Amino acid sequence: MIQLTAFAGIVIEMICRLDDLNRTACCRSSLASRVSPTRLAHTKLLAGASLLLTMVTLSGCPSAPPSAPTSATSEQASPPDDPKLIEQLRARSGLLTVDANGHVIKADFTVKGTKVAGEGETAAETSIGDDDLALVAKLTHLTELRLEGPKITDKGVLLLKPLTSLVVLGLENTQLTDTGAEVLASFPNLEVLYLRRTNILDPALVHLSKLAKLRALDLRFTNVTDEGMKSLAGLSQLRDLRLQATRVTDASLPLIAKLPNLQKLNVWGENFTDAGLSQLADTKTLRILELDDTRLTSEGLIKLGGLTNLEELHVRRTRIKNDGLAVVKNMPKMRRLLLRDTLCTDPGLEAVSGLKNLVELDLTEGIFGDDGVKNLGGLTSLEDLSLWATTTSDAGIESIRELKKLKALNLEQTRITDAAAKTIAGFGELTELNLSQTEVTDATLKELAALKKLKKLSVNNCIMLSGGGLDELKAAIPGLQIVGP
């Protein structure tokens, strides 16, 4: 009926247009009083179309087949995930997020673990094993899945193939190998993939080459090499690439430098030198560059001076000197600068003095003292400052008294005394303070009672503190955690 009605309407519209044309022609020829044959013909057609429309209305016609539902309609019509299944997985310590339609869209089966010695990271282990992943695979609306720990092997990971909606997948510290990695190609929507500390090798990366939407890839502490990096060349959406403690070398940096959207790069270790790192000089999209423990020198850092949009630079335990550090003058967007254990000295910190957006500065184990620290007095956005194992004294602390946004201050193994206490007590936003291995006494603790937001105080090897003084401070700041002495 709908189709015939539409047809009749089309006929009527065509005839009306003929009528308009005929009227125009008649007027132009001054024959308006004559009835043309064309006009008679289309009048008959108009009557016929009207009759056809009436017949359709009275008699009806077969209905048109229903249109295919939209994806949104299909989603709404999809039944919710089995509540019993949801409870079963929650009983295994799974943190599940369920949307308004009853679908589990996020699942986190990691549990809080213990600190990994020497890495400053936390190890986690999943609360489920391979057999349980058959249940997880039934949650076909999952967009985010986090698994961690040695209970997960290739056997379990291969069961996840039905989860084609995955956008974020974490398999850190699992026993994943190249065999299990084959399933990764089944996730066309994957954007974030964590494979840190897995057992994958270069063949696994071939499967990743099919993930056109991949934005972030963590391969730290795997044994992938330069050969495997070739498989990543076509990942044009990649923004975040982490390669710490892999077998990747300088040889891969020309390829990495050509990734058109790369914003964060993490490399590490002796495999990276000035010659290789200079290949990144034209990668203007970079915002975060982590080069800790590489063989970077001032010469290499100077070649990277054109990366003026950098917001984070990590050069801990590298061989840069003041002339290399000078490049940060032209990086006004810098928010985090980590300079631990470099060859920079006090005069070099003049280059840092203009970084008004800086929120974190790590000078740990640096060749810095009061003359250098005074350059930091105008960095009023600073929230995290580490002067650990520098020669900073009370005078240096006085020079940064205006840093009122400080939330974390590390003064371990510095030369401060009780004379710095009033200045420190003026940092009212402090939540974490480290005074370990300093010569402060109970007099300092009395001043610190003003820091009502303080959550953690470290006083290891502060031999001049008394138990009574610490107890009084705890009473003054409820909930305060004291580490040491």
Domain extents for the chain? 2-59, 82-248, 345-485
- Residues whose CB falls within 8 Å of the CB of residue 84, separated by 6 or more in sequence, listed in order: none
pLDDT (tens digit per residue) in 107-155: 999 875 444 434 445 555 667 899 999 999 999 999 999 999 999 999 9
> Domain spanning 82-248: which superfamily?
Ribonuclease Inhibitor (3.80.10.10)
Residues 446-463: b if buried by 16+ CB within 10 A, e if exposed: bbbbbbeebeebbbeebe
pTM: 0.80
The pLDDT of 435-452, averaged and rounded, is 97
How does residue 77 score in pLDDT terms, banded at 50, 70 and 90? low
pLDDT at 64 over 70: no
Unique residue bearing structure tokens 């990668």: 283
Strands (E), 295-370: 312-314, 336-338, 360-362
pLDDT of res. 23: 45
414: which 2 tokens?
């510095």
Contact 353, 337 (CB under 8 A): no
Q: Give buried/exposed letters for 125-134 (b at 16+ CB in 10 A, else e).
A: bbbbbbebbe
Summarised one tens digit per residue, pLDDT across range 3-36 is: 444 444 444 454 444 444 444 444 344 433 334 4
Written as six digits, the tokens of 302 are 């100077």
Domain 345-485 = CATH 3.80.10.10 = yes
Q: In the chain, how long is the greatest CA-to-CA distance? A: 121
Instruction: Look at residue 92 in the predicted model and tell me its pLDDT.
Output: 82
Whole-angstrom CA distances from 436 to 57, 412, 426 are: 92, 5, 19
pLDDT digits (tens, 9 = 90+) for 402-440: 999 999 999 999 999 999 999 999 999 999 999 999 999
Is the separation of the CB atoms in 280 and 307 below 8 Å? yes
- Tell me what percent of the residues of the chain surpass a pLDDT of 70: 81
Could you list the beta-strand ranges (E) of 160-261: 168-172, 192-194, 216-218, 240-242
pLDDT at residue 124 in the model: 57
Per the DSSP assignment, residues forming a β-bridge with 111 are 125
Instruction: Using CB atoms within 10 Å of the CB of residue 442, give its burial: 0 to 12 exposed, 13 to 18 middle, 19+ buried.
Output: middle
| Ordered alpha helix ranges (H), 369-478 | 370-373, 394-398, 421-425, 442-448, 467-476
Residue 43 has pLDDT above 80, yes or no: no
Beta-carbon contacts of 253 under 8 Å, excluding residues fewer than 6 positions away, are 272, 276, 277, 279, 280
Distances (CA, A) of 144 to 169, 365, 398, 425: 6, 40, 48, 44
Confidence category of residue 94, pLDDT binned at 50, 70, 90: confident
Choose among 375, 372, 388: nearest CA to 435. Answer: 388
Rg of the chain (C-alpha set): 35
Fold matches, 82-248 and 345-485:
yes
Residue 160, pLDDT > 60, answer yes
How far, in Å, CA of 331 to CA of 119, rounded?
29
- Residue 383: partners with Cβ closer than 8 Å, 6 or more residues away: 359, 360, 405, 406, 407, 408, 429
